[in-house]
Amino acid sequence: MPSVLPLGDPAPSDGLLPPQALDGAADRAFGLYVHIPFCAVRCGYCDFNTYTATELGGGASQDAYASTAISEVAFAARVLEQSGLPARRLRTVFFGGGTPTLLPAEDLARILGAAISEWGIEPDAEVTTEANPDSVTPESLRVLADAGFTRVSFGMQSAVPHVLKVLDRTHTPSRVPLVVQWAREAGLAVSLDLIYGTPGESLEDWRYSLETALSYRPDHISAYALIVEDGTKLAAQIRRGEVPGIDDDDHAAKYELADQLISDAGLDWYEVSNWSVTPQQACRHNLAYWRGDDWWGIGPGAHSHVGGVRWWNVKHPTAYAGRLASGASPAAGRETLDAETREVEKVMLEARLASGLAVASLSASGRHAVAGLIADGLVSPAEAFRGRLVLTLKGRLLADAVVRRILPD
């Protein structure tokens, strides 16, 4: 969740949604994202809307946060009902951050319990929390599992100490197998998040991180290229020449190695940066984003989407808590997407999925471009023959370029 909010129209203080949001709502899944904006240390590469304890006070404190988030849960339920949305049970819930597990597990359980009380939850729902390896214990993971969490996504990032140091990560590599074991014992599915392309990381460093992560037999792996965001500590270090910059060829080589090793270990890609052991272990919450389903985002800076209406909350936890305390919507702005914009976003997102998108759904110019993409080795000819546009490995490396070629002129 980038810390800079987009521009948009003013959001109404009552939060009510326009009639467009109701169209087809009964056929769309509904999920909840809960942003926990706290971190023990601000990582040098991170541009997310997060705060350390020394930056906060009053109603924005960590101790008060669960109650504040629960008040937005109640606000959200009221807005959806008053806007005429059909009653839908939660299909996915995702706690992200920040570091959600900096809050006591009992607080996360309270927030989840409040959401289930408002909306109900599907029997096979996916409930995930992100966690740093040094922010959980066997006891806290059991509390989460008992409360209804089904999955934990650990920010492993690397198994190499000097790489973790550049990233300002606070855990040691030896902690990761312990927390994976504890999660398994609690009955939770396990995902590991990795980052490649850190300044000073060699190809062999990356291979070691991949092999180490795979040795823990996770259900799911995410591998993301490091992006250097303006205004971060890492961007300043690169600008001053203290660490080397980012190299696109290095990123490509590391992605190819990741796909090779992860696939050889029995995990299949289902989105450009994500692999799972089975289709059922893919992150269903993220798939809901990529497929344009509905979700409400709880927390400062959190983004929501319902039926082509998108809005985002005020950034700072103090302002967020103040809005809710006064009974007003915490939204800072919103936008209503037109049909053309929604179609462009659909192409951009679904093209990244292993399931691809229907060639017939493309514009005339997009359909015409498919033959050239096949010739360039960017999409699968066999899948195209069956009417689906599915990226090859080369196409995944150049996914943005593929999307530009299939979007309307």
37, 51 in Cβ contact below 8 A? yes
Q: Among residues of the chain, what percentage have pLDDT more than 90?
A: 83
Backbone φ and ψ for 105, nearest 5 degrees, come out as: -55, -35
pTM listed for this prediction = 0.93
Residue 229 carries which side chain, given as an amino acid letter? Answer: E
Residue 165 has pLDDT above 80, yes or no: yes
Give 248-257 pLDDT, tens digit per residue: 899 999 999 9
Q: Among residues of the chain, what percentage have pLDDT more than 70?
A: 91
257, 225 in Cβ contact below 8 A? no
pLDDT attached to residue 389 = 98
Q: Where are the domains of the chain?
A: 19-290, 338-409
Q: Report DSSP letters for 325-379, one per residue.
A: HTT---EEEEEE--HHHHHHHHHHHHTTBTT-EEGGGS-HHHHHHHHHHHHTT-B
Fold for the domain defined by 19-290 = Transcription Regulator spoIIAA (3.30.750)
Residue 368 carries which side chain, given as an amino acid letter? Answer: H
CA angle, 114 as apex, 280 and 295 as ends, to 5°? Answer: 50
Measured between alpha carbons, how far is 359 from 368 in angstroms, rounded to an integer?
10
13, 328 in Cβ contact below 8 A? yes
pLDDT attached to residue 247 = 79
Residue 2 has pLDDT above 60, yes or no: no
CA-derived radius of gyration, the chain = 21
Dihedral sign (CA 271, 277, 280, 283): negative
Could you identify the residue written with the tokens 């498919």?
370
For residue 286, give the nearest of 44, 140, 148, 96 by alpha carbon. 96
1, 266 in Cβ contact below 8 A? no
- Poorest-pLDDT segment among 51-60, 161-170, 377-386: 51-60
Q: Report DSSP letters for 20-83, one per residue.
A: GGGTTGGGS-EEEEEEE-B-SS--TT--BS-B-GGG--GGGSHHHHHHHHHHHHHHHHHHHHHT
Measured between alpha carbons, how far is 61 from 14 in angstroms, rounded to an integer?
25
Could you identify the residue written with the tokens 């205004």?
231
Chain-wide mean pLDDT for the chain?
92
pLDDT attached to residue 240 = 75
Burial class (CB in 10 A: 0-12, 13-18, 19+), 42: middle
Structure tokens that stand for 39 in this block: 């971190």
Give 349-408 pLDDT, tens digit per residue: 999 999 999 999 999 999 999 999 999 999 999 999 999 999 999 999 999 999 999 998
CB within 8 A of 371, min separation 6: which ones?
A: none
CA angle, 102 as apex, 100 and 105 as ends, to 5°? Answer: 75
Measured between alpha carbons, how far is 106 from 142 in angstroms, rounded to an integer?
11
